[in-house]
């Protein structure tokens, strides 16, 4: 599936549409350059789920957890990960055993420690907007 997104609002809207589509246990890899809109997409998802607080990229904390109406959503950002083995130290496998939705930015940084995703979303700059590509794997 491919979609052209003209603005930040359209990126958030796509995230909101995902809220209605994803099962309560799902792993989504997010690919794209810095500033491509990965966190914006997650923000749209969280807003549609009912979260009204600030949504920031977990670049320094590696993970941000949200519990919304008994649904756990975890947003990972592995950009600053220096060694994929660090994921074991934070107990990342425990998240995958839970009934939760996990978004992972920069999943290549965790290669060898991450399971296969259910969806892969890639955002790439194209013209004044972004081209979003989504693959369903499971």
Domains of the chain with bracketed CATH = 2-98+105-123 (3.40.50.300)
Measure the CA–CA gap between 70 and 16, rounded to whole angstroms: 18
Measure the CA–CA gap between 51 and 45, rounded to whole angstroms: 9
Closest residue by Cα to residue 54 from 72, 75, 28: 75
pLDDT digits (tens, 9 = 90+) for 59-79: 778 899 999 999 999 999 999
Measure the CA–CA gap between 77 and 43, rounded to whole angstroms: 14
Q: Kindly report the backbone phi and psi dihedral angles of residue 46, in degrees, each rounded to the nearest multiple of 5, phi listed first.
A: -65, -40
pLDDT digits (tens, 9 = 90+) for 31-47: 999 889 999 999 999 99
Residue 132 β-bridge partners: 3, 123
The position carrying tokens 């890639």 is 122
pLDDT digits (tens, 9 = 90+) for 8-27: 999 999 999 999 999 999 99
pLDDT score for 54 = 87
The pTM assigned to this predicted structure is 0.93
């Amino acid at each position: 599936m491919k979609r052209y997104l003209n603005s930040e609002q359209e990126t958030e809207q796509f995230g909101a549409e995902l809220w209605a589509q994803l099962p309560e246990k799902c792993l989504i890899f997010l690919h794209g350059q810095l500033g491509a809109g990965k966190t914006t997409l997650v923000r749209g998802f969280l807003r549609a789920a009912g979260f009204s607080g600030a949504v920031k990229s977990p670049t320094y904390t590696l993970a941000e957890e949200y519990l919304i109406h008994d649904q756990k959503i975890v947003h990972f950002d592995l950009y600053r990960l220096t060694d994929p083995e660090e994921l074991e130290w934070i107990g990342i496998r425990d998240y995958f055993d839970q009934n939760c939705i996990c978004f992972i930015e920069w999943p290549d940084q965790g290669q060898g420690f991450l399971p296969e995703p259910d969806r892969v979303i890639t955002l790439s700059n194209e013209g004044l907007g972004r081209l979003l590509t989504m693959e369903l794997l499971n």
